Structure formats: structure tokens, C-alpha cells
Amino acid sequence: MAANPAAINTSVLGNLDFNLEELRARYAEERNKRLRTDGNDQYVEVAGELAAIADDPYVQRVERAPLREKVEVLIIGGGFGGLISAARLAQAGITDVRIVERGGDFGGTWYWNRYPGAQCDIESYIYLPLLEETGYIPREKYSYAPEILEHAQRIGRHFKLYERALFQTLTRSLRWDEARNAWQVETDRGDHIEASFVILSSGPLNRPKLPGIPGLSTFKGHMFHTSRWDYDYTGGDSTGGLHKLADKRVGVIGTGATAIQCVPYVAKHAGHLCVFQRTPSAIDVRGNKPTDPDWAGSLKPGWQRVRNHNFAAILSAIPQAEDMVKDGWTDLFKALGELLNKPAETGMKPEDFALLAEIADFRKMNQIRHRVDEVVKDPATASALKPWYKQWCKRPTFNDEFLPAFNRPNVTLVDTQGKGVERITAHGAVVNGVEYPLDCLIFATGFEVGTAYTRRSEFEVHGRNGVSLSEYWARGMRTYHGFYSSGFPNCFHLGLTQTGLAPNFTYMLNEQALHVAWVIDAVRSRGAKRFEALPEAEAAWVQTVSKPGFMSEYQTTCTPGYYNAEGKSGQGEGFLEGQYGEGPVQFYTLMEKWREQSDLAGLVIS
Ligand code: NDP
């Protein structure tokens, strides 16, 4: 794919201070070490004897009588997707809404992920939604989890959503009732809700997963998943103070975005900490700072959408006069954006562009690897912590405390050389034949991706003629514009369902919520009772999102992970697959134009 460097104008190429071929070979070698035939099947479902791992450790279950009611809109999920949807519906004058949420409060991912150090690595001023509406300015450039959870609660109060919420309630089934033009919804609390419209917003990374390591259930020590942090056991809270770990030997399995944030806190308090690493993360500078009150005071109405759009545009390689957020994300994308726009300016050949993009990628990753050497004192540990893959193969991370944790005498990096933990015994974890004795095992092993949608959401949806969503999507998702499936009237999917994926998730959710509120309003104002996607519109959209885009091509040579379905990209199961290939800004602009046309093209209403 890449051209011979000699064929490229040297002024464009610049002087390389590394050996291209050596790096390519090293990346391929590291990827090969990690490829495995079982892909996603290497993980075990948190069910059966492991089910308790997903129990809510934060609040006691409150008993209540079952509810029977009829509402206009039922929203499943009280995370930011559900909250923003309810807010945008309220702004469109639709307030007869019910929100059903599994957790004991609003917040979604921020309700569950309360591990010490949990922080959003997207700038708070664009990540925290509805800031202008709620009159709140975050305290720092990057908010920690408690502030984000508080903000979810603030949205709930501001839009009077608490009175509309059923917490600690799991939706079990949704059944379309053709005679009544409504959904009949059942929950695990015996509720029965009839809803004219439903919005499914249960989130993309909601179901914790565990590695299928032999012996997992034989461990006699304490164990939990990072998304269900056991503060009774560790002591302290999200801000730290894990004093009960002082005499404990703790193991953290995983070194993804979550581990990067919680490891420094465990390291500070544990008697001894072993971090079991399969693949190192790429860790760039965090550089958090308090909010400048002068800046906050200077903001003009509409600022949040403008800032969010600016960020999303830079991340979609759309040139902007100014970089408002100026952080690690925009830094990563600006280089790529400049390159992407170069071919048009210079008449550059596609293969020359591919090589330049590869070089920019190598440069960024060299910088990341260099940082490891600068921070980590022991050369062998530093060497093991270096990531050898392209920058978008795994979720980029930003943190200033993880790497220094390995300079502590009570912290050991157990590098599994890409193979993972070999075995778990009653008293520890085994790697390379060596048993590491442990009192506590913390799984920072992430969330299900690529498993069936209805398995992850834990509810089934039966559309017209009783067809289930599981059956309908058995061979892959099928939607029109990502929101609607043919045969499932008055039902909206929200999130990563063939829409436009943006690193700032709430940007996406906000644009989606605006769209959904507009469609419901449009259907009602036409005096209609139902709408449904036309099969041909859906088929055309599935074709559109199935075209190999830049990212899906890119992922084929990546080290395995959930972005590329554990090395099995091309089958539609990777996190980055099956989305609108042109990018999020282009996708939401397309939706805006569709709304402006006002003819509900592709939908049939009656
Ligand atoms: P990830 O899926 O990103 O990481 C799981 C980790 O577990 C990986 O390091 C993986 O290694 C490792 N692992 C899996 N199986 C084994 C095994 N058998 N032995 C040893 N290690 C194993 O989950 P996270 O919870 O870290 O992050 C999930 C996502 O949540 C992020 O990617 C991000 O999108 C989001 N997040 C966002 C944050 C934010 O700031 N906004 C903060 C935290 C999370 P390998 O890489 O080899 O598969």
C-alpha cells in the first residue's frame, strides 16, 4: 500500500529520524504475538456463578409496588443519552416521558464507573452536556467522575426528570402492539408501561466483561470489576484514600483506559500491587488545569455548541480557523487533518498520502514511547510499557500518574508478553509459570463489544408480527440512518447504531437527541400515530455504513482489541465498524439537511 519514500518529494517527506521498515516489522511482530483464533469468545459473560460481579455496590435495593401506566415516550437508560433525549423532548414541548434505568440514579457510565481516579478524558466544557441550559461551568478542564455524576443529577433536577424516573429497574421486554399503535413494555419490577414511542439508550460499553482465564472462579481472595468498585473492601472513595489496602496484595488485570486511571490510586495505598499487562496503552500528557473564571465569564450564548462543533470538525479532518480545545485529541487529529487535505492542495498521489499518514503516526507513537523512557526509571519496565502499534489501534489515553506509579517499590509490572494471565489459582495469578500471590483481584478488563445487542441491553424487542430484534439483527445491525429499523415502528435506537461515531460521545448523543425529538414532533404535528422505516431506505443505509472506510481499513493491521473485534475486523463486530464512514460532522449535517427537507424521506407515517 505504501509507496517507496524515494518517490516522494523530499520537502514533503522531511528527514526521517527512524527506520520505517524496522518499525513496520516490530508492529507486525507485536500484533502476531496477540492474534488469537477465539476473538471475542476469549471472554466470559458475567452471568451464572459470576453474575454477582455486576451487582450494584453503591445503593441498597428499594422495594416498590409495580406500576401500570401509559406514557407518550419511554426512554430506556438514564445515562447522558436518556437525559439529553428527555431534555430535548421537553424543549420540544413533550414532557409525558418515563425513564427506566437499571442504576439507582442518573449518570449511566458515570453512575457505574466510580473507580478511584475515574475521569473523563474529553474536555469537560464540551463533554458535560447542557451546560448553558443548567447554568453550570465545570471546575477543571478534565472533570473527575464525581463532578460528572453530579452534573447528570443536575440535568435530572433541572428538567424535572427525577419524577419521571424508575431507578433500579431493568427493562425486560418491549412488544409492539399493532392494534393500539403502541409499545407494551415489561420490567423486572412487574411494571407494565404502554408507550407511543420508545427510545433505546442503554449505552455501548455498559456490560462488564471478564477474561475467560482458567481457574477464574476458584480464586479464594476478593475480586471485583472496576465498574463496580468495592469501597467497602478498599476503603476510600473516587478521590482516593484506599486505606484498607495497606496490608493487601492486589492484582489489577488490564491496562486499558480504566486501569491507566485507577492504578496510580491503588499503587499509592496497596501493600503490594501487581499490574498484569497484555498490551500497553499509549499514554499521552494529561495537563489538567482549573477553569479560568475570566474565560468562563467571557462566554457568549451558544458557546458550547460552537466549541463542540469546532472539536468535532477538527477530529473529522475539517479545517478550522481556530483550535478552541487545544488538547491531546486535537493534536492527534490536526496532523492527520493537515495530511488529509494535502492531496487536494498539492495533487499528491494517494499512495504518497498513505505513506505520509503512516509517518505522522510513527512520529506520534515515537513521542509516546519516548515519554515512557523519560518517566519510568527501570529500563526493563520502561521497555515493557511501550506500545507498538498505530495510534488509533486502541483508545488513546491521557494521564500523568500511571507511568510514575511504576517507580514505586511496591508496584510490579507483570508483562504477559501479549498472552494474558495464564491461570488463576485459589491464591493468585499465574504468568509464565510463576504464581503471584494475591489477596484481591481487580478486573480492569472492559465491557462487552460485538456481542448481540439484546444480550448487552438485557431486554428483547418484539416488533411488528412478533419478530425479535435479536432475530432481525442476527446477521448484523440493520437500521435506517442508525435510528430506526423496519418492522419496529415508533422505536429509536440511540448511540452507536450505524450513526456517526465521534470521540466526544455526548456530542453524538446531543445531535441524536435533537434528531429524535424533531422526528417525534414532526410525526405528532402531522396528526400521525406511527412511523416506520421503509425496507429499501434501510437496505440502502446498511450498504452505506458497510462500505470500508478509512478507519476500518486502518484497523485491519492493528493489534487486537475491542476496536477491531479482537483482531477480526471486517465482520461488523468491531467498535469502529459499521458507522457512517465520512465522519460524525458529515453524518449529523446529513441529518440536519434531512430535517430541513421536512418530508421524512425513507419513513412511512400513518
Ligand atoms: P478496555 O477494553 O479498553 O481494556 C481492557 C484491558 O484488559 C486491556 O488492557 C486488555 O488487554 C486487558 N485484558 C483483557 N483480557 C486479559 C487477560 N486475559 N489478561 C490480561 N489482560 C487482559 O477496557 P477499559 O475499561 O480500560 O476501557 C473501556 C473503554 O471505556 C475505553 O476504551 C474508553 O472508551 C472508555 N473509558 C473512557 C474513559 C474516559 O476518560 N472517557 C476512561 C476509562 C474508560 P488487551 O489490550 O491486550 O486486549
User: Is residue 504 in contact with ligand 1, taking CB distance under 6 Å?
Assistant: no
pLDDT score at 582:
86
Q: How far is the CA of 296 from the centre of ligand 1 (A)?
A: 34
397-398 and 97-100 strand pairing: unpaired
Q: What does the chain come to in residues?
A: 606
Distance 256 CA to ligand 1 centre (A): 3
| Residue 447 CA, ligand 1 centroid: distance in Å | 8
Q: Does residue 107 come out as left (phi exceeding 0), alpha (psi in the -120 to 50 range) or beta?
A: left
Question: Measured from the CB, is residue 256 less than 6 Å from ligand 1?
Answer: yes
Supply the pLDDT for residue 117: 98
Q: Give bridge partners of residue 76 from the DSSP assignment.
A: 100, 200
What ranges do the domains of the chain cover? 68-207+456-527
Q: How many other C-beta atoms can be found within 10 angstroms of the C-beta atom of residue 489?
A: 25
Return all residues near 352 (Cβ < 8 A) that are at least 6 apart: 3, 7, 8, 12, 343
Residue 566: the pLDDT is 83
Q: Which helix (H) or strand (E) holds 177?
A: strand 171-177
Q: How far is the CA of 409 from the centre of ligand 1 (A)?
A: 25
**Residue 148 Cα, ligand 1 centroid: separation in angstroms?**
21
> Could you tell me which CATH number the domain at 68-207+456-527 has?
3.50.50.60
Q: What is the pLDDT of residues 96-146, one digit of tens each?
A: 999 999 999 999 999 999 999 999 999 999 999 999 999 999 999 999 999
The predicted-structure confidence for 416-464, as pLDDT tens digits, reads as follows: 999 999 999 999 999 999 999 999 999 999 998 777 777 777 889 999 9
Looking at residue 83, its pLDDT comes to 98
Q: Residue whose CA is closest, atom 21 of ligand 1?
A: 254
- Residue 450 gets the label, from left (phi > 0), alpha (psi -120 to 50) or beta, of left
Q: Which atom of ligand 1 is nearest to the CA of 421?
A: 19
The confidence score (pLDDT) of residue 318 equals 87
Is the CB–ligand 1 distance for residue 359 below 6 Å?
Answer: no
What is the pLDDT at residue 345? 61
Instruction: Collect the ranges in the chain with pLDDT lower than 70.
Output: 1-14, 336, 338-347, 570-572
Residue 24 CA to residue 18 CA, distance in Å, equals 11
* Residue 424, C-alpha cell as written in the block: 488463576
**pTM of the model as a whole:** 0.94
Instruction: Determine the pLDDT at residue 344.
Output: 61
CA distance 6 to 592: 45
**Pocket mutation for ligand 1, best pick of 41, 205, 284 (most atoms within 8 Å of C-beta):** 205
Cβ 185 vs Cβ 477: under 8 Å: no
Distance CA 570, CA 581 (A): 14
Closest by CA position to 154, among listed 96, 111, 107: 107
Supply the residue whose CA is at minimum distance from atom 15 of ligand 1.
211
Q: Please give the number of the atom of ligand 1 that sits closest to the Cα of 259.
A: 26
Q: What is the pLDDT of residue 482?
A: 97
Nearest to residue 504, comparing CAs of 123, 205, 142, 145?
Answer: 123
Please, are residues 170 and 164 in contact by the beta-carbon 8 Å criterion? Answer: no
Q: Give residue 349's pLDDT.
A: 74
Dihedral sign, Cα of residue 91, residue 93, residue 95, residue 99: negative
Q: Is the CB of 444 under 6 A from ligand 1?
A: yes
Residue 549: predicted pLDDT? 72
pLDDT of residue 256: 97
Nearest-angstrom CA–CA distance, 525 and 568: 46
Question: Contact 459/174 with Cβ under 8 angstroms?
Answer: yes
